[in-house]
Amino acid sequence: MSTPTTTAPDAHDEKRPPAARPAAPKGPPNRLRGWVTRAPLLPALVFLIIVTQLPFAATLVVSFFDWNALYPEARSFGGFANYQEVLSDPELRDSVVTTAVLTAVVVLVSLVLGLLLALLLDRSFRGRGVVRTLLIAPFLLVPVAAALLWKHVLYNPEYGLFNGVLSWLFGDDAPQPEWVAEMPLGAVEMALIWQWTPFMMLILLAGLQSRPADSIEAARIDGAGAWQIFRYLTLPHLRRYLELGALLGSIYIVQNFDAVFTITSGGLGTANLPYTIYQTFYQGHEYGLASAAGVLVVIGSLIIATLALRVVSSLFREEVRA
């Protein structure tokens, strides 16, 4: 009598996973859900395009025309002539140099002072919250109000605070300098440094508070001093934050108009590129030339902003990896 033979299941069959179900095709409901999700952002996007992109497109078109508002009938297409004049005009070149010097001095000094204040606020002491609020206050002021404060309350040679302090320290024979007339660019730089140091302080304070505490503690256990910890641990950790502060500060200082207009009115060699564009547009009535200079400023700002966004994205990637 023959017994039926049964075949043992193959080991490969036991390990074989069940067949995956085919993914359901993405149909119109998924697309509709995506548009419904994005719909609340559409008004803001439309508003942004109307407020920023359309004026820039109009400026770009005007920059290719030889257009003086005093002679509207003589308007003609000039191609890249306005851009060539912007790049070859001595006054515009001087304003570019002034803008670069102003931006470099303000950003570097603000970073150094902001770093010192951030190191101070990173320590625990009584009243730290009040001190932090007072230090942030200059950045919250309206730029024109801050410039007027420095021009009239501090720089004024007759009743300004600086000359008043000199008279209090040295008596009636104390020097009474005219700060704006004797150091015009320095006067603008000091006002901007005072206003932008809190911004740098906030960025660097955030970097200090994100340091790994275990590394700092291990360095102290190994006998490292405060300077060694700052040089070999804190400063490398703050590198990205320093870059971010420098790039964001440069974007805003390059476009600064309020301090130059309010304190010196662009005189005494303080006319930066935004003020020169203002003079060309509103006083010289050269719409095409001013538009070409404005387009070049926007292009430069976009380059700096792109670098800033890359630094921000690298900071986020480092935080995710940590």
Q: What is the dihedral of CA 91, 97, 101, 102, to 10 degrees?
A: 40
Written as one letter, the residue type at 179 is W
Q: How far apart are CA 284 and CA 15, in angstroms?
A: 83
In a domain, 92, yes or no: yes
In a domain, 227, yes or no: yes
In a domain, 28, yes or no: no
Whole-model pTM over 0.85: no
| Among 247, 245, 259, CA closest to 98 | 259
Q: CA angle, corner 190, sides to 255 and 137, nearest 5? A: 80
Q: How far apart are CA 230 and CA 84, in angstroms?
A: 49
Whole-Å CA distances, 210 to 63, 126, 214, 313, 315: 46, 22, 12, 16, 11
Which pLDDT value is given to residue 199?
A: 93
As for how many domains the chain has, the answer is: 1
In a domain, 90, yes or no: yes
The domain spanning residue 125 has which CATH number?
Answer: 1.10.3720.10
* Burial class for 162, CB neighbours closer than 10 Å (0-12, 13-18, 19+): middle
Contact assessment for residue 251 and residue 308, using Cβ atoms and an 8 Å cutoff: yes
| Predicted confidence pLDDT, tens digits, the chain (322 residues) | 444 444 445 544 445 555 555 555 554 567 777 777 777 888 888 888 888 888 888 888 988 988 887 887 778 888 888 888 888 888 888 888 898 899 989 999 999 999 999 999 888 888 888 888 889 988 888 889 999 999 999 998 888 888 888 888 887 788 888 888 999 999 999 999 999 999 999 999 988 888 888 888 888 888 888 888 888 888 888 888 888 888 888 888 888 889 999 999 888 889 888 898 888 887 778 888 888 888 888 887 788 778 777 776 776 666 556 5
In a domain, 38, yes or no: no
Whole-Å CA distances, 50 to 26, 41, 56: 34, 14, 10
Domain span including residue 295 = 44-320
Q: How far apart are CA 306 and CA 56, in angstroms?
A: 18
Contact assessment for residue 175 and residue 287, using Cβ atoms and an 8 Å cutoff: no
Which pLDDT value is given to residue 2?
A: 47
In a domain, 1, yes or no: no
In a domain, 36, yes or no: no
In a domain, 228, yes or no: yes
Six-digit token string for 150: 């420095």
